[in-house]
Chains A and B, each alone.
Chain A
Amino acid sequence: MAITRLGPNQDITAAKIAGQINFKNLIINGDMSIAQRGTSTSGITGTGVFVVDRWNIDEVADSTLTMSQENLSSGNAYNNGFKKSLKVLVTTADTSLGSTQSVQLMQKIEGQYLQYLNFGTSNAKNLTLSFWYKSNVTGIHTVCIDKSDSTRATCPLEFTVSSADTWTKYTLNANANAVVQGSTATIDNDNGTGFRVMWGLAYGSNYLSGTSGTWEQNGTGSFSTSNQQNIVGAVNNYVELTGVQLEADTSASDFEFLPYDVNLRRCQRYYTRIARTGGDYAYGWGWLYGTTGGNFAIPVSTPMRIQTPSVSVIGTSFAIYSNGTKQNGSTMGTIAWESNTYVIGLNTGSLSHSLDKHTASLNNASGTPSGMEFDAEL
């Protein structure tokens, strides 16, 4: 590589550094490469189901779905650097949607990440959403940017699948208008949901009043448009998505590939797990108190979004060792440490001991597998 000596007053500006990473993408894990929970879940009904990190499906209809992380080995998305995708497959159809029913594949974005968009001011920025998409269902599909803080504003975006089962890149614009420049369009500067970016697999009639590419303040009525298709209307219908990028601009730039470790750590702000198969290995340390309690600190790779994430015990129990004794526990809550601490505090109850003020370790119980999951998703 040639190196050019800079002359006087020739600063190294961002524009002079090719291929730089600047975190322009508001979407996390847009290349679908991280799937900490596993690679497939079937029988999905209901809301808040995750497979690929940061991407959840809300199924509020009468369909049943399978969501999976797919390995790509050919096609236009693969040829552009994407090795993984997210697939939603219909396994039970809902052919007759009720007016309030919906099925949405979405990512939620924290409000504090969106402040530079200047929503609620005359300097509100234009947005461009780009992604690779494949479906067996041809015709118009939709995705919606939903700003739910303050007064809800939504911008549905239509795109057309012309060729079935063919990876195609779409670039869609959500340009600022008077709605998002108005003072009621501000986004709270906090760790709550600022945007939801939602691909609509199905919407009942209550959600179809939107105009493609136009921000509106119409409650939930403009999540989609009158051209919305019912993709969950037939078994084996599917959509597949990767390479998602949302950026503040009027055109799409190349997808910003992050190193695997950086991408993983960004996902672990919302979900992380400590697990292994077999053996009694310690993953946290603390002390026992009273006759039933234990208090432990679990180190994590990055501070989680909230101070008290939910905890789930993988397997049936965890083990606690202290003073040469072992017992299993199954109940715990999180203890809030200060924000931005690289530790999760756990408080375990339902133990039975006479080891007040003894040091202890928190271990995975023998079994396959065991450990803990922590969830701070939006």
Chain B
Amino acid sequence: MINTVEKIYQDTPSGDIQIIYKVTYSDNKSWFCNEDKGNRHYQEILEWVENGGVIVDNGA
């Protein structure tokens, strides 16, 4: 069960900003995932948001 999701802005070697998400579950385990709809953690985040979850976004 998801506890928190944080949006992280990360520099890349090409100079672009990479968006990653840190998702932390009720057992305190955290995963970093990209915005990839084939990624099960990202799918879970989308579902969590749909059900009212709010992503922590501290900006770039």
Contacts and interface: CB of A to CB of B under 8 A. Distances in A.
Contact of A309 (B18, B25, B39): B39
Interface stretch (A135-143, A245-253, A285-293): A285-293
B27 interface: yes
A44 to B, nearest CB: 9
Contacts of A292: 11
B38 A293 contact: no
Interface stretch (A146-154, A256-264, A330-338): A330-338
B40 A347 contact: no
A375 B41 contact: yes
Interface string A333-366: 1111000000000010110000000000000000
A333 B1 contact: no
Given A48-B44, A308-B34, A378-B40, A331 B12 contact: no
A231 to B, nearest CB: 21
Contacts of B32: 310-312, 331-334
A182 interface: no
Contacts of A310: 31-33, 39-41
Interface string A156-169: 00000000000000
Interface in B38-55: 38-41, 44
Contacts of A312: 29-32
Q: For A313, A335, A349, A378, which residue has the most chain B Cβ atoms within 10 angstroms?
A: A349
A53 interface: no
Interface residues of B, number: 24
A333 B31 contact: no
Contact of B10 (A48, A308, A313, A331): A331
B41 to A, nearest CB: 5
A55 to B, nearest CB: 14
A293 B8 CA distance: 13
A220 B29 CA distance: 31
Interface string B6-32: 001011110000101010011101111
Given A293-B11, A310-B39, A334 B34 contact: yes
Given A46-B26, A308-B34, A333 B11 contact: no
B26 to A, nearest CB: 7
A99 interface: no
Interface string A318-339: 0000000000000111111000
A295 interface: yes
A309 B38 CA distance: 9
Nearest to B44: A48
A258 to B, nearest CB: 25
Given A312-B31, A312-B32, A349 B10 contact: yes
Nearest to A305: B38
27 contacts: A48-B40, A289-B11, A292-B11, A293-B10, A293-B11, A295-B12, A306-B38, A307-B36, A308-B34, A308-B39, A310-B31, A310-B39, A310-B41, A311-B32, A311-B33, A312-B31, A332-B20, A332-B32, A333-B20, A333-B33, A333-B34, A334-B34, A335-B12, A347-B12, A375-B31, A375-B41, A378-B40
Interface of A: 43, 45-48, 191-192, 289-290, 292-293, 295, 305-313, 331-336, 347, 349-350, 375-378
Given A295-B12, A332-B32, A334-B34, 8 more contacts: A45-B1, A293-B10, A331-B20, A331-B32, A333-B32, A335-B18, A349-B8, A375-B41
